[in-house]
Amino acid sequence: MSNVAITSQPRGDGILARLSDALWRRPTLFLVLLLAPPALWLGIIYLGSLFALLAQSFFSIDEFSGLINYEFTLKTYRELFIPANLDIIIRTTLMATCVTLGAAVLAFPIAYYAARYARGKWKALFYLGVMLPLWSSYLVKVYAWKLILAKEGILNWIFEVLHLTWALEAYLAIPLIGGNSLSVSYSGTFLVFLYVWLPFMVLPMQASLERVSASYLEASADLGAKPLQTFRLVLLPLALPGIIAGSIFTFSLTLGDYIIPQIVGSSRLFIGQAVYTHQGTAGNIPLAAAFTVVPVVIMGFYLWMAKRQGAFDAL
Amino acid sequence: MTRIVTGLGTALLASAMFVQATQAEKLTSLGAGEGQVNIVAWPGYIERGETDPKFDWVTGFEKKTSCKVQIKTANTSDEMVALMNEGGFDLVTASGDASLRLIAGKRVQPVNTDLIPSWNTVDDRLKSAPWHTVNGEHYGVPYMWGPNVLMYNTEVFKEPPTSWNVVFEEMTLPDGKSNKGRVQAYDGPIHVADAANYLMKHKPELGIKSPYELNAEQYAAALDMLRGQRKLVSRYWHDAFIQMDDFTNEGVVASGSWPFQVNILKSKGAPIASVIPEEGATGWADTTMMHSEAENPNCAYMWMEHTLSSNLMSDLSVWFGANPGVPAACTDGRGMQTAEGCTTNGMDDFEKIRFWTTPVSKCATQNNECVPYYRWVSDYIGVIGGR
């Protein structure tokens, strides 16, 4: 009875029903409608602002009034290569490299343990431990670190209690990485960067390690490989996509950050701060735009290198 | 990076809107308020009783005029110029190193003093000050002024330091330890003028007449001074609150600063005091200036009158440790400030202070061969970076 009732019902009387029929008959239209909003978002908001930025970098600034000359020029790009600006670029790239390497070294054992040994509640604890820092405000964490690293802060106090102040002082006396206290040295900036971006390295690494079957490692050992050889020739290549994915996060996030080096560090500018200073403070949008192109170029180069190294082959 | 990209995107949209800048006509009469006024101000300059209920000079104005006051704070003069260039604001409390740039860039309009009944109460020393008066036109109403004082820790300095050399030259402080890593300097290019001010007294052979008018040789000497200072300074101060934190947690004992930080640290019981050393000091004199395309001109004029006639300057003088642009605010009991308080803030030291001015290449004292401000900006970034 009920079957008859359904089939005998007149079709397509409601607007929704007609619409649904139309979409079913034309799957391409359905696909277009589905993809249009994200495509528009990506095209207009993201690429649009990126191209607007690129365009800005070819303008220049009137040095007294701070107003922009809307004429094509490469003058702004030339300014990137004066020693003070070149310093900023090199400093930032070096810091990003160190942070990435540090994060990779620190994250590997954590991720390896989580992927291979942690089970049940330990696994839950691992996820919680890695994700927890991401839940609290970024600024709160950075200010907390400023207090931890300060000359009269917790870390110095611990060193004092352990009678190790001499070791810290010897470390801080090293030129370049040292300074008056950890909170005004590159080491301090490095530590905070490492802390803040570490989860972005651990999670992709853990995901990739989980996909490496334990039998590969056993096979390698059965064939006579020493643990170090197994690590170097089997585990590392197979985990590489995860490491590269994580390094893309840590590297690009460090390249662009402008808050950490302002709060913890020696006042020497990083690219993000240079962009912020020139854009927000000095009103020199062309130079800020040119500075923003730098990490884009560096990241492009980085991805190209990663591809050549075969990092994306397993994707 | 996305943050920066989108941030720049919005900045671009904003900047596209002001391409056509035209000289605005002065208002000739006032109408009803528009319901709001948007002000770019220094931190701590416009208080509505939220930080401390005793200090409120906004609520009364809002009740009286129905103009809602919206504030955007800026930490440096360059930031103020940038915000005004973006547009969308009616007023700015511009210091002398921003005001001339704003006038040259046609970002602010001349003010019709006839529409401000209390104009004649303004300090005669400020009425036609060169940082807001161009060709006889007033581009704003004097607000507050004050010195960039030398803030110091009284546990280290039993006697107030007499010279700025404690922040410029490596030396042993009264507590027997070096000043290395224990002093700070301002993270703004205008700090070059503090070095020049110091050299003016200690190297008279350079022939510096004004710390804002430096020829190539004098400028190079000032930069050398600052390079030496870089070795002493671990972190330059940019944000007033981070500086206060550095004085309490980072072992910093002396730095150029504003009376604002000194007063707050003192009120928290920190061993802090301030002094104007023998070389004199640089200082700021701020002017309330009106955007050339202000959307709320009537409320803006009402606010300017309010700054001159209400409790604002008197209470702000106590709060910020600055001096009012209207001398009567010190004495007539309209707010909390007293004549003694104004003397403490340096009301009588007007002559000792060299007010922030934008350095330009055409300068009177050095045959029009001065180093302009944009060089100060890029070179100071270099100095901080160790160049």
Residues B387, A255: C-beta atoms closer than 8 Å: no
On the question of pLDDT at B307 being above 90, the answer is: yes
Nearest CA in chain B to A52: B9
- Report residue B23's pLDDT band, with 50, 70 and 90 as the boundaries: very low
One domain for residues A27 and A87: no
Residue A17's domain comprises 2-47
Percent of chain B scoring above 90 in pLDDT: 53
Q: Give a yes or no: residue A315 inside a domain.
A: no
CA-to-CA distance for B346 and A62, rounded, in angstroms?
Answer: 37
One domain for residues A29 and A139: no
Residues A153, B78: C-beta atoms closer than 8 Å: no
Each residue of B42-87: pLDDT tens digit?
A: 988 899 988 888 899 999 999 999 999 999 988 888 888 888 988 8
Low-confidence ranges of chain A (pLDDT < 50): 1-8
How high does pLDDT run on average in chain B?
87
Q: Which residues of B touch A285 (CB under 8 A)?
A: 8, 11-12, 15
**Quick one: average pLDDT of B139-143?**
94
Q: Which site among B20, B180, B235, B374 would you substitute to test the A interface, given the most A Cβ atoms closer than 10 Å to its Cβ?
A: B235
Instruction: Quote the pLDDT of residue A75.
Output: 87
Residues A184, B181: C-beta atoms closer than 8 Å: yes
List, in sequence order, every residue forming a beta bridge with B290; answer none if it has no partner.
B91, B109
The alpha-carbon gap from B225 to the nearest alpha carbon of chain A, in Å, equals 18
One domain for residues A90 and A31: no
The alpha-carbon gap from A282 to the nearest alpha carbon of chain B, in Å, equals 5
CA-to-CA distance for A243 and A208, rounded, in angstroms?
Answer: 8
Percent of chain B scoring above 70 in pLDDT: 94
Nearest alpha carbon to residue B279 among B380, B169, B170, B142: B169
- Report residue B241's pLDDT band, with 50, 70 and 90 as the boundaries: confident
Each residue of B104-138: pLDDT tens digit?
A: 888 999 999 999 999 999 999 898 888 898 888 89
One domain for residues A162 and A269: yes
One domain for residues A31 and A166: no
* Domain total in chain A: 2
Instruction: Quote the pLDDT of residue A151.
Output: 86
Q: Which residues of A touch B180 (CB under 8 A)?
A: 180
Instruction: Quote the pLDDT of residue B138.
Output: 92
One domain for residues A29 and A159: no
Instruction: Quote the pLDDT of residue A41.
Output: 86
Token digits for B353? 């202070």
Instruction: Quote the pLDDT of residue A313.
Output: 64
Token digits for A248? 């893309």
What domains are there in chain B, each with its CATH number? 31-145+284-349 (3.40.190.10), 147-282+358-384 (3.40.190.10)
Q: Which site among A180, A263, A270, A293 would you substitute to test the B interface, given the most B Cβ atoms closer than 10 Å to its Cβ?
A: A180
Residues A267, B4: C-beta atoms closer than 8 Å: no
User: What part of A 47-66 touches B (C-beta under 8 Å)?
Assistant: 48-50, 52-53, 56, 63-66
Torsion (CA) B123, B129, B131, B135 in degrees, nearest 10: 130
One domain for residues A139 and A247: yes
Q: Give a yes or no: residue A154 inside a domain.
A: yes
One domain for residues A36 and A142: no
**A256 in B contact zone (CB under 8 Å):** yes
Choice between B183 and B19, residue whose per-residue pLDDT is larger: B183
One domain for residues A156 and A302: yes
Q: Which residues of B touch A179 (CB under 8 A)?
A: 181, 234
Q: Give a yes or no: residue A64 inside a domain.
A: no
Q: What ipTM was reported for this prediction? A: 0.70
Q: Which residues of B touch A82 (CB under 8 A)?
A: 378
Nearest alpha carbon to residue A206 among A313, A312, A107, A102: A107
Instruction: Quote the pLDDT of residue A306.
Output: 81
The alpha-carbon gap from A288 to the nearest alpha carbon of chain B, in Å, equals 9
- Report residue B269's pLDDT band, with 50, 70 and 90 as the boundaries: very high
Q: Give a yes or no: residue A78 inside a domain.
A: no
One domain for residues A95 and A146: yes
Instruction: Quote the pLDDT of residue A240.
Output: 86
Q: Give a yes or no: residue A136 inside a domain.
A: yes
Q: Give a yes or no: residue A93 inside a domain.
A: yes
CATH code at A101?
1.10.3720.10
Instruction: Quote the pLDDT of residue A280.
Output: 59
**Enclosing H/E stretch for A61:** strand A60-61
Residues B3, A285: C-beta atoms closer than 8 Å: no
Instruction: Quote the pLDDT of residue A63.
Output: 64
Instruction: Quote the pLDDT of residue A45.
Output: 85
Which of B2, B4, B101 is nearest residue A65 as measured by Cβ atoms? B101
The alpha-carbon gap from B327 to the nearest alpha carbon of chain A, in Å, equals 32
CA-to-CA distance for B146 and B149, rounded, in angstroms?
Answer: 9
Q: Give a yes or no: residue A9 inside a domain.
A: yes
Q: Which residues of A touch B378 (CB under 8 A)?
A: 79, 82, 84
On the question of pLDDT at B196 being above 90, the answer is: yes
Nearest CA in chain B to A50: B5
CA-to-CA distance for B18 and B70, rounded, in angstroms?
Answer: 21
One domain for residues A145 and A209: yes
One domain for residues A36 and A87: no
Q: Which site among A267, A269, A279, A287 would you substitute to test the B interface, given the most B Cβ atoms closer than 10 Å to its Cβ?
A: A267
Q: Which residues of A touch B181 (CB under 8 A)?
A: 179-181, 184
Q: Give a yes or no: residue A33 inside a domain.
A: yes
H helices present in A185-279, as ranges: 186-211, 214-222, 227-230, 236-256, 260-263, 271-276
